[in-house]
Amino acid sequence: MCGIIGGSKLSWNYEAAVASIKHRGPDAQRICKFMDFALAFVRLSIIDLSDNGMQPMQSEDRNVAIVFNGEIYGFQKLRNQLIYKGYKFSSSSDTEVILNAYLEYGDKFVHHIDGMFAIVIYDKISCKIKLYRDRVGIKPLYYFYNGKDFAFASELKAITNLCNDIDFNVDYTAIYDYLTYSYIPEPKTMYKNVFKLPPGHYLIYDLKSNRIETIRRYWKLNVNDAFSDKSNIQEVNEEIRRLIGESVNEQLVSDVPVGSFLSGGIDSSVVTYEIMKINPKIEAFSLGFSYKKYDELQYADLLVNDLNIIKNQEIVDKNKVSKLYPKLKEWYDEPYSDTSAYPTYLVSKLARKKVSVVLTGDGGDEVFGGYSRYNDFQIYSKDSHGINNAKVSLLFERLVASMELPENSRLSDFFLDDIVKICIMTNGMPKMFKKEYAKQYHIDKDYDDYWFFRKHYHKEFPPITRMQYLDFHTYLPGDILTKIDRVSMQHSLEARVPFLSKKIVEFAFGIAQETRCPSGKLKGILKDSYRDLIPDKILDRRKMGFNLPNTFIKGDFAHQEELLKSIWKL
């Protein structure tokens, strides 16, 4: 895990850019200026701690250079295949495996790897800069392009520090979008001419013409859109346990200490259980709240006691959390308001005292169907396979009644479009609430507030599958993975996500909804797979999430607006 930077102008301030993201790589830094491009790297040493694993790394003939942030799962198998083909290795790093895989397979190398990654390859022969972002969007990759000059980096602040001759102007449509989603959706950032490379995409910049040659998807998630099928449940359960166990085993590869986040929820419990099968001496890290209604430590203790896990924990109160509010700007570089960032920052700080890597349960809800709003959506949906839609009015009346409706609005407005309902269920601000912001930011009257949702919304999918697919492409990379990457890396801690390996994602979305969530039972297949292995009180408990107690912080809309005005001055 580390930070990467590059630019087409050698006169830019690479030293300032490197300094701005030194938290991502405190162990070593390097800047390499070539004839027509510069690459920079900050290193957090995880695999091959020697200088041989340092970046930028170049091919033996010096024609190809690479910088890479992330980890490649099971890279040893690909390494052995390349050795069989005649390639030589001077390190045991996954970076050199990627480099040689590119030399062997060209652009198709990305189909031979799985992992969390932001990879940039400088091909001197073709005069191309090639960017690749992992399939799910676990690792960030920003780029600047103004029609001529080009730069990239792991964080937005590195680009603004690097390009010292550029005036960065705010994109107010992105700020307006933040109010809808609680984050700025890709490919936008808060600045014009600066973008996020979407997950599962690659970009090619031509150094001769100074133009972006292509931005293209290299992976698409295929979905079983059947409501039910005739799956053999026992076989499905066995395959899920096998895939998760294999993914955890691959992601435990490290030359530094590894731990586990253990919240007391199903996902982190499954990951920790699988770790314990491989390494019984693993240490788990948990965070609790002084407000007991939101405290989950009692459930974490169930697994700790059952498996004799070494647990490290901390209790936080409102005062400790409130001191972190101004830090959001430093962490995220643009408006972001998920309140679970605060406890995630604190548990990352706790873990970093003992380990450099943690495995987390992130992604389990999107992959196996765990959010309570999925069942709500089945009720709201008009094609919900037998769900009693007479409940729609009553349930939605209750939801909207808890909100202060703008003047002259009608409850029927909420029923005109499923996307508006989804916006409300995900704590976003609907269009009718943003009229003053639309005026302030000069947003066109015909602007589609929900464009990011519509882009990934497939009405033909069954309701739970539909919501999972939507969250997988929006909420997961835009909110959840952004959250964990930035706050863990503030402490130079690498967070790995076993549920998001390609094989688990494709298997889970490849089974029918009724198999994944039988009779609407959220995460049913995952629970059944670990029944009798993990305490029932963990498997059958109500989902809480890692959110702050409502006594700690203002409501969602109020918090969004407060951050926008007090921290961002927008």
Dihedral angle computed from the Cα positions of residues 223, 224, 226 and 229, in that order, rounded to the nearest 10 degrees: -160
- 110 and 7 in one domain? yes
The pLDDT tens digits for 342-356 are 999 999 999 999 999
**Residue 228 placed within a domain:** no
The dihedrals phi and psi of 7, each to the nearest 5 degrees, come to -160, 155
Q: Which amino acid is at 441?
A: Y
Of 162, 188, 217, the residue that ends a domain is 217
Measure CA of the first residue to CA of the last residue in the chain; give whole Å.
Answer: 33
CA angle, 256 as apex, 498 and 74 as ends, to 5°?
40
Categorize the per-residue pLDDT at 290 as very low, low, confident or very high, splitting at 50, 70 and 90. Answer: confident
- 518 and 433 in one domain? no
Alpha carbons 462 and 459: distance in angstroms, whole number: 8
pTM of the model: 0.93
- 319 and 273 in one domain? yes
Q: What is the CATH number of the domain that holds 296?
A: 3.40.50.620
What pLDDT, on a 0 to 100 scale, did the predictor assign at position 37?
A: 98
DSSP label at residue 312: E
**Interaxial angle between packed helices 266-278 and 297-307, expressed in degrees from 0 to 180 and rounded to the nearest 10:** 20
**Residue 315 placed within a domain:** yes
What pLDDT, on a 0 to 100 scale, did the predictor assign at position 537?
A: 92
The better pLDDT of the pair 394, 467 is held by 467
Alpha carbons 549 and 328: distance in angstroms, whole number: 18
**Residue 258 placed within a domain:** yes
The pLDDT tens digits for 201-223 are 999 999 999 999 999 999 999 99
The answer, yes or no, to whether residue 385 has pLDDT greater than 50, is: no
- 240 and 184 in one domain? no
Of 432, 465, 498, the residue that ends a domain is 465
Name the token pair of 43: 């290193």
Q: How many CA atoms lie within 13 A of 189 on its CB side?
A: 25
The pLDDT tens digits for 7-17 are 999 999 999 99
- The alpha carbon of 439 is separated from its chain's Cα centroid by a whole number of angstroms, namely 32
**Residue 39 placed within a domain:** yes
- 52 and 30 in one domain? yes
What pLDDT, on a 0 to 100 scale, did the predictor assign at position 548?
A: 66
- Number of domains into which the chain is organized: 3
- 241 and 160 in one domain? no
- 407 and 355 in one domain? no
Q: For the chain, what is the radius of gyration of the CA atoms?
A: 23
Q: Mark residue 505 as left, alpha or beta (left: phi above 0; alpha: psi -120 to 50; beta: remaining).
A: alpha
Cis peptide leading into residue 187 (ω within 30°) = yes
**Residue 91 placed within a domain:** yes
Residue 469: which residues within 8 A CB-CB, separation 6 or more?
221, 223, 456, 458, 461, 509
**Residue 195 placed within a domain:** yes
- 138 and 17 in one domain? yes
The mean per-residue pLDDT over the stretch 358-364 comes to 97
Q: What is the CATH number of the domain that holds 76?
A: 3.60.20.10
Cis peptide leading into residue 343 (ω within 30°) = no
Alpha carbons 470 and 422: distance in angstroms, whole number: 10
Name the token pair of 178: 């933040």
CA angle, 172 as apex, 171 and 174 as ends, to 5°?
75
Alpha carbons 369 and 363: distance in angstroms, whole number: 10
Cis peptide leading into residue 335 (ω within 30°) = no
**Residue 313 placed within a domain:** yes
- 208 and 108 in one domain? yes
For residue 547, the enclosing domain spans 233-368+476-556
The answer, yes or no, to whether residue 392 has pLDDT greater than 80, is: no
Q: How many CA atoms lie within 13 A of 79 on its CB side?
A: 15
The mean per-residue pLDDT over the stretch 42-51 comes to 90
Summarize the chain as % helix, strand, coil (round to 5): 45, 15, 40
Q: In what order do the strands lie in the sheet with 258-261?
A: 310-316, 283-289, 258-261, 357-359, 494-496
Of 436, 465, 494, the residue that ends a domain is 465
Compute the mean pLDDT over every residue in the chain, rounded to the nearest whole number. 90
Alpha carbons 147 and 61: distance in angstroms, whole number: 32
User: Do the Cβ atoms of 367 and 499 come closer than 8 Å?
Assistant: yes
Q: Per residue in 89-126, is it b (16+ CB within 10 Å) or e — as a string?
A: eebbbbbbbbbbbbbbeebebbebbbbbbbbbbbbbee
- 151 and 269 in one domain? no
Alpha carbons 208 and 128: distance in angstroms, whole number: 8
The pLDDT tens digits for 445-495 are 999 999 999 999 999 999 999 999 999 999 999 999 999 999 999 999 999
- 238 and 186 in one domain? no
Categorize the per-residue pLDDT at 318 as very low, low, confident or very high, splitting at 50, 70 and 90. Answer: confident
- 183 and 51 in one domain? yes
What pLDDT, on a 0 to 100 scale, did the predictor assign at position 95?
A: 97
**Residue 294 placed within a domain:** yes
The pLDDT tens digits for 67-100 are 999 999 999 999 999 999 999 999 999 999 999 9
Alpha carbons 369 and 501: distance in angstroms, whole number: 16
What pLDDT, on a 0 to 100 scale, did the predictor assign at position 323?
A: 86
